Each structure stands twice: as C-alpha cells, then as structure tokens.
C-alpha cells in the first residue's frame, strides 16, 4: 500500500471510538480500523523508513512489529476503557520497537480525539502508562492534544539513564552544542520528568549549568502535526525532516548508550 495520507474516515473512526469506547462499538466498526487505519499506518512506517534512509538517518521500522496495539493496558488504571483513541508507532536505530533512541509517531484527530482526553496507554512516550505517574496525575507531555511526532530517549532503566548523565558530564561542550543545535532548529527539550534532587553519583554537579540536564530522566523533542500534514502523502518527508533536525540529540544519546556493555558497565 502506498501512503496517501490518513483519510477523514480514518480519523472519524478514532473520534467515534472516543465517544463509544466499548467492545461492541469497536466490533461493529472494526472494518474501518482494519481496512483503513492499520494499512495507512503500515504504509507510513515503510515510507518514513525510506525517507529517513535517503537522509542517512539510521531510523527504520517494521510495518507490523513497530505498531502499538490499540488495546489499552488497564491493569493499573482506574480508567477501564478498553481502547486508545489514537494509533502510534516507532522507528528506531535497529528497527526494534522499543530500542532506545526513537522517532515516535502519534496519530489522532487534530485537537485531540475528545475534550479532556486522558492519554493512558502502553506507548513508551506516554508517562500516564506508569502507575506512579497515574498516582501523581502527571501529564507533562503533548499527549491527547492531537497528532505529534517526537524524537529522543525515553528510558526506563537506571543504567541507561545514568549512562546519558555520565556522558553529559564527560562531554559538556558537546551537550551544549546539542542544545544549541536544537534551539537553532526551533526545538525545545520536553520537560523530561526531572527528579527533585540531584541523582546519586552526580551530587558534585549541583548548582552547575549541567544540573537541569542531569535531573532529567528522558531527553526528547517533539512537535505537533497539523490535520493537513497527517492527511498529506508528504507526511513521511515531514517526519524525516523533523528527525534530521533532532539528529544531534539522537547521536549524543546513542554515543552514551554505546559505551554500556551487556553487563551494564560503562566504557570510556
């Protein structure tokens, strides 16, 4: 299937699902999902992978295995609605869905699927997935407000988080160059779910220019997508261009994580 944009019927299905989030409605309208949204998302993954390769960006995905399920994980959620009201996928350096350093693509109607949408999902870039975040009512990202794309590192393993932090300390000039390159591209690092205190092992950096970066637990940039962009056949090129602007951040994080061997030790 050639990607020709997400059709109005695709987005209407998500809007309808938001208003009728139950298994009977989904079963009755499943053809719109199976024959519209799923093939469009698969084609988007394939063509965005090709567009990234043309820009020498090491990001790719599999049309089947890089897609997140539309079923919500409700095990730890008070909200037991069975379905997400968006579709999403990732492109990564090795093509595996959850590999560190990714482009995350989130498709829903412009403006969100419904007012007050609560974005509880198993997607890696959605903090409300985690029970601790749900308990705190945290939602510091662009989730539920419409389609968007994000690039960077959403890390949940402490060795990986600390590897990025160590690399920032070891390469402060390079980190400053990353921040400058992102700013020049008009990109701002997302809040990053910072810890309140300096992380263990980095206390000597308290009060320095590196403190905000070291308190982060994730390093991401994102931008909203318009309704016209997600309806366009040019969406793969738009996404690849955004990833190219995010390349300094991706390269920095990959360099940090490549220093970790399988035992978790960090190499200089």
- For residues 71 and 137, give the distance between their C-alpha atoms in angstroms, rounded to a whole number: 21
Better-predicted residue by pLDDT, 110 or 208: 208
Measured CA to CA, the distance from residue 187 to residue 48 in angstroms comes to 20
Cα separation, 222 vs 208, in Å, equals 26
Q: 7 and 36 in contact (C-beta within 8 Å)? A: yes
Give the tens place of pLDDT for each residue, 5-52.
Answer: 999 999 999 999 999 999 999 999 999 999 999 999 999 999 999 999
Tell me how far apart the terminal alpha carbons of the chain are, to the nearest angstrom.
Answer: 46
pLDDT at 139 over 70: no
pLDDT at 227: 95
| Whole-number pLDDT of residue 125 | 53
CA distance 242 to 225: 11
User: What single-letter DSSP state applies at residue 171?
Assistant: -
Which one, of 38, 5, 2, 63, lies nearest residue 234 by Cα?
A: 5
Average pLDDT, the chain: 87
CA nearest 101: which of 46, 160, 146, 56? 160
Q: Which residue has the tokens 């490549």?
A: 258
Q: In what order do the strands lie in the sheet with 148-154?
A: 87-92, 102-107, 148-154, 218-224
Share of the chain above pLDDT 90, in %: 78
Average pLDDT of the segment spanning 176-187: 98
In sequence order, which residues have a C-beta less than 8 Å from that of residue 84 and are 6 or more positions away?
68, 70, 71, 72, 121, 123
User: Model confidence at 261, in pLDDT bands (50, 70, 90)?
Assistant: low
Tell me what the mean pLDDT of segment 183-206 comes to: 95
| SS3 at position 180 | helix
Q: Residue 267 has what pLDDT? A: 46
- Return the pLDDT at 260: 83
- Identify the DSSP state of 20: S
Angle between helix axes 247-257 and 235-245 (nearest 10 degrees) is 60
CA atoms within 13 A on the CB side of 86: 29
């Amino acid at each position: 299937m050639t990607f020709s944009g997400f059709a109005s019927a695709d987005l209407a299905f998500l809007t309808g699902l938001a208003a009728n989030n139950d298994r009977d409605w989904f079963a009755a309208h499943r053809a719109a999902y199976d024959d519209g949204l799923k093939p469009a998302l698969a084609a988007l993954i394939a063509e965005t992978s090709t567009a990234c390769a043309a820009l020498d960006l090491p990001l790719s995905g599999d049309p089947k295995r890089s897609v997140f399920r539309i079923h919500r994980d409700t095990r730890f959620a008070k909200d037991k609605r069975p379905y997400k009201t968006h579709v999403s996928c990732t492109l990564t350096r090795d093509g595996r869905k959850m590999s560190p350093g990714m482009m995350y693509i989130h498709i829903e109607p412009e403006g969100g699927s419904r007012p007050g949408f609560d974005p509880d999902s198993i997607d890696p870039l959605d903090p409300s997935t985690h029970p601790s975040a749900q308990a705190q009512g945290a939602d510091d990202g662009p989730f539920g407000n419409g389609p968007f794309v994000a690039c960077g590192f959403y890390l949940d393993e402490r060795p990986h988080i600390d590897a990025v932090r160590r690399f920032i300390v070891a390469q402060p000039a390079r980190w400053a160059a990353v921040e400058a390159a992102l700013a020049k591209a008009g990109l701002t690092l997302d809040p990053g779910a910072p810890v309140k205190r300096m992380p263990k092992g980095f206390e000597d950096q308290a009060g320095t220019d590196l403190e905000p970066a070291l308190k982060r637990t994730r390093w991401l940039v994102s931008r909203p997508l318009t309704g016209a962009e997600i309806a366009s056949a040019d969406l793969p090129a738009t996404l690849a261009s955004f990833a190219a602007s995010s390349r300094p951040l991706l390269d920095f994080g990959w360099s940090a994580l490549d220093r970790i061997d399988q035992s978790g030790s960090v190499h200089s």
